[in-house]
Amino acid sequence: MPLTPVPELITAARPGGLGAFNVITLEHAEAIATGAEAADRPAVLQISEHTVKYHGSLAPLALACLRIAADSTAPLTVHLDHATSFELITAAAELGIPSVMYDGSTLDYAANVAATKDIATWCHARGIFLEAELGEVGGKDGAHAPGARTDPAEAADFVAATTVDALAVAVGSSHAMHTRTAELDNDLITRLSAKVPVPLVLHGSSGVPDTGLRAAIDHGMTKINLATRLNIQATNAIRNTLTQDATLSDPRKYLTPARTAIQSEVTHLLHLLAP
């Protein structure tokens, strides 16, 4: 089926949350699509700026994701995540990626507003959904340093000034956590949801236990970004396969169980995020 616009995916997921999963390899993209099909749930395939740098360019992986999403029987789309440059956003638009996140979180507030507003105007003129971030999210001693939280009034002002379509907020999660010990501030999520008129996005969701993710959705979180949990499952599968056969050299023999592990985790998570 054709790519599904993000607002339609959000509607299809409600009253549950929309799962958004980071793609690093082709196997990730294939597994996310098949995992969504097995769960019969909408999902987002995300490519981060770090992954673009790893591959050397956006186009090869992005084009593969676009085709996989379009060919899937599940409602899917492709999203560019944590882009810090306008050049990368324009490259995504030229490839047909319909959703991007501009990350101006390292800028001061005024500069972030100015840059995000300009990019929002550019994206909306081309029908592109824009997510943004107020303050640094997770693992970088920014908004997700201990005790740091997004202020609801400031978040509402930011959205009004920039006209973004979704906002990543800091409520207690952190990027790249290998332990699932993050405790979210559900009261803050409720207050943000009441104050901010666009969908809220939870980054760093892999460090949140299942019960915490369900509670976050129940309190008003909309889009749930997950990456590390998939990578842990894939790596464990590869490690186990190679340990069992030290002579194994065919990548297909150890990437197949990795892909299956990602698919199973995606299906589990999408069921978890369902109403």
Sign of CA dihedral 32, 34, 38, 41: positive
Task: Give me the average pLDDT of each 10-residue run along the chain (275 residues).
Answer: 93 97 98 98 97 98 98 98 96 98 90 96 98 67 59 95 96 60 82 97 82 93 94 97 95 98 98 94
Tell me, what's the pLDDT at 116?
97
> Residue 202: helix, strand or coil by DSSP?
strand
Q: What is the DSSP string of 22-76?
A: E--SHHHHHHHHHHHHHHT--EEEEEEHHHHHHHSSSHHHHHHHHHHHHH-SS-E
Report, as residue numbers or ranges, the catalytic residues.
Answer: 81
Tell me, what's the pLDDT at 130?
98
Tell me, what's the pLDDT at 134?
83
Domain ranges of the chain: 6-273
CA atoms within 13 A on the CB side of 56: 1
Q: What pTM did the predictor assign?
A: 0.92
Total Cβ atoms within 10 A of residue 233 = 21
Give dist(CA 131, CA 116) in Å, integer: 9
Record the tokens describing residue 254, joined without a space. 């150890």
Tell me, what's the pLDDT at 173?
58
Identify the CATH class of 6-273: alpha beta
